[in-house]
Structure 1
Amino acid sequence: MRTLLMTTVLASALAVAGAASAQSSIRPGQTIQGNFSAKDARMGDGSHYRCYVVQTNPEEAYTVTLSSSDFDTYLSAGPGADCDDTSVFNDDGPDMGTNSQLRFASSGGLWIIKANTLSEGETGRYELRVSAGERVRPTTQVLPIAVGESRSGRLEFSDRRADDGSFYDCYALTIARAGSVAIRLDSGDFDAYLGLYEGPQCDGDSMASDDDSGGGTSAQIVQSLRAGTYSIRANTLASSEEGDYTLSVTSRR
């Protein structure tokens, strides 16, 4: 009964999906071999793609790998069954050359996977694999930080995810007395990005943001703040980047 129900859900999702590209199902632990030809659907940039739907379990981590010796690969994925709505991206997996790999932590339900050539008109054989890994609980906690403190952390696939697919941690900052502060984010693993928000939840429009004012790939915001509670996004600049970082807040006079 459970297998029949899952099959019915997947079949319904595929039937509802748009006609721009035929969609297939893939199971965790399954490897699919395919072949892009000139007849396959194309993105706006002229690259070929195919879409696959996978049924996921809550609080479980998944790894998707796309490999080919014929073309440079590109992967994207996102919750739901809409092939045009993907928020997790990867071009080249870690130490994988032209192959691609991405990871995501699911809250359950269907996820869409788009297997794609990187460049216009590329064709050839490919292999797509979905693996289920350890049980994880997506991070939603807000961490405290005070003026004069530094915090070390790590961004990874189980962390909060911005609309562009980048990972971030959220820190709450309480300002007891109005003044100017410098907020700095350093990492040797990824290009850092900072956002400063009113309130404790890292939501809404940012008061200030920065990519590289800290020099190199470091981000820094210098801002005059009234007494109150603020929040800081310690964020990667690009989608799906992972790594260690240091966040610091200092007083400026």
Structure 2
Amino acid sequence: MRALLMTSVLTAALAVAGGAAAQSTLRPGQTVTGNFSGKDARMDDGSHYRCYVVQTQQNQVYTVTMRSSDFDAYLMAGPGADCDDTTVSNDDGPDMGTDSQLRFTSTGGLWVIRANTLSEGETGSFQLSVSAGQQLRPTTQVLPISVGEGRQGRLEFSDRQASDGSFYDCYALTVSRAGRVAVRMDAAGFDAYLSLHEGPQCDGDSLASDDDSGGGTSAMITQDLRPGAYSFRANSLSAAQEGDYTVTVTTMR
């Protein structure tokens, strides 16, 4: 009965997805083969694509791999069944040449995968697979930091996840003296993003946020703060990015 119900849910979702291309179901552990031709759907840039939908479990890590010796592979994925609504992408997987691989942590339910050629008019055969990894319970840890201190950290799949699919660490900052405070984040492997919040839990509306004010892809927030409890998110600009970073908090004159 459970298997029959799941099939019905997938069928109904595909019927109402409204995507530009027909969608197929893909199961974790399954590998499918395909062949792009001139008959396949095209993106606005002229590249061909196909859409697949996979049923996922909450907090499960999934790895999607696309291989081809005929063209440069490109993958996109996102929650739901709409092939035009994706949040995670990858061109070249780690040490994989022109093959593509992406990972995502699911919030549960359906996820759509768009298998794509990188460039206009490319055709040829490919293999697409999806595998499920460990079950993750994102941390709720809050990391203390003081004015005048620097900390090293790493964004990874076990971290908290923002609504856009990006990972972040939460830092609690106590300000004992009113003044102008600068929070800076540097990262070599991704575009850094910061948001400053009242209270110690990195929740609620942000007092300030920043992408590139630190120069290049570094983020920096400069804010006049009264004595009290604050927090900030050390975040990436894009979804599902991992890597090392450094944060510093200093006073400004």
Give the TM-score, by structure 2 length.
0.88
Q: CA-to-partner distance for each residue in 1:76-129, whole Å, 9 max, x for gaps?
A: 111111112111111111121211111111232111111111112211111111
Q: CA-to-partner distance for each residue in 1:52-92, whole Å, 9 max, x for gaps?
A: 11111222111111111111111111111111211111111
Change (3 A) 1:141 1:84: farther
Aligned CA RMSD, in angstroms, stands at 2.3
1:248 aligns with 248
Change (3 A) 1:161 1:47: farther
Give the conservation status (yes or no) of the 8 Å contact 2:211–2:237.
no
Give the conservation status (yes or no) of the 8 Å contact 1:196–1:202.
no
Work out the CA distance in 2 between the residues paired with 1:229 and 1:9: 46
Change (3 A) 1:70 1:106: same
Work out the CA distance in 2 between the residues paired with 1:139 and 1:91: 29
2:208 aligns with 207
Letter in 1 for 2:133: G
Deviation at 1:202, TM superposition (A): 4.8
Deviation at 1:28, TM superposition (A): 0.2
- Gap regions ≥5 residues in structure 1: none
SS at match of 1:75: strand
Give the conservation status (yes or no) of the 8 Å contact 1:193–1:212.
no
Give the conservation status (yes or no) of the 8 Å contact 2:142–2:169.
yes
Work out the CA distance in 2 between the residues paired with 1:19 and 1:85: 10
2:130 aligns with 130
Map 1:114-153; keep pairs closer than 5 Å.
114-139=114-139, 141-153=141-153
Work out the CA distance in 2 between the residues paired with 1:162 and 1:59: 13
Work out the CA distance in 1 between the residues paired with 2:57 and 2:85: 20
Deviation at 1:166, TM superposition (A): 3.6
Work out the CA distance in 2 between the residues paired with 1:44 and 1:34: 21
Give the conservation status (yes or no) of the 8 Å contact 1:40–1:49.
yes
Q: Which moves more between the two structures, 21-30 or 96-105?
A: 96-105
Work out the CA distance in 2 between the residues paired with 1:142 and 1:162: 15
Work out the CA distance in 2 between the residues paired with 1:57 and 1:208: 32
Deviation at 1:196, TM superposition (A): 2.9
Matched residue count: 252
Change (3 A) 1:134 1:66: same
Change (3 A) 1:170 1:193: same
Work out the CA distance in 2 between the residues paired with 1:203 and 1:77: 28
Identity of paired residues, percent?
69
Give the conservation status (yes or no) of the 8 Å contact 1:172–1:232.
yes
Deviation at 1:206, TM superposition (A): 5.5
Give the conservation status (yes or no) of the 8 Å contact 1:197–1:208.
no
Work out the CA distance in 2 between the residues paired with 1:42 and 1:112: 17
Q: Does 1:51 align with 2:51?
A: yes
